[in-house]
Structure 1
Amino acid sequence: MNAATLALLIPIVAIVGGVVLSAMKIQQRKGQAQQQDAVLQALQEEVSALKARVQVLEALATDSGESLKRKINDL
């Protein structure tokens, strides 16, 4: 290999390497985004369940005594 060939190959290798690194970073970000979506979905489900529990507790706390006894016994 002569100097001209090396002078041509070095920038080509650098450009290709940069493209490969960029592609790898994009893939990594996609994986992180998928993980975050899964965590978000789980948190949304947990919040929905907690809201339902709070509604039941609010109903029990604001209800009259007799009705409250019946509901507790029904559980």
Structure 2
Amino acid sequence: MGKEAEIKNAERFKDWKYTRKRHRGLAKPGYLMHVMPIDRGNEADVELCDDPELAWLYDQAENRLHAPKAVLALTMGGRL
């Protein structure tokens, strides 16, 4: 996505934010997942980001690390 398209897209969704009200509208259980880095306070409320029962941000970011490590190991001739 080009810089101009990114700015246009950000303007289009500037009022969208993941809040408690939006969270209540989800099916139970609902979790906050994000590929990181998350813009705390703008993309999602800070209290939701810090809630250990709802936010799986760091778990998802940690799991994302393993796929590139596996690709790197395989391209370097190693074994998993």
Choose 1 or 2 for highest CA Rg.
Answer: 1
Under a length normalisation based on structure 2, what TM-score does the superposition of the two structures give?
0.32
Under a length normalisation based on structure 1, what TM-score does the superposition of the two structures give?
0.33
Structure 1 or 2: larger helix share?
Answer: 1
- Larger RCO (CA within 8 A; separation ≥ 6): 2
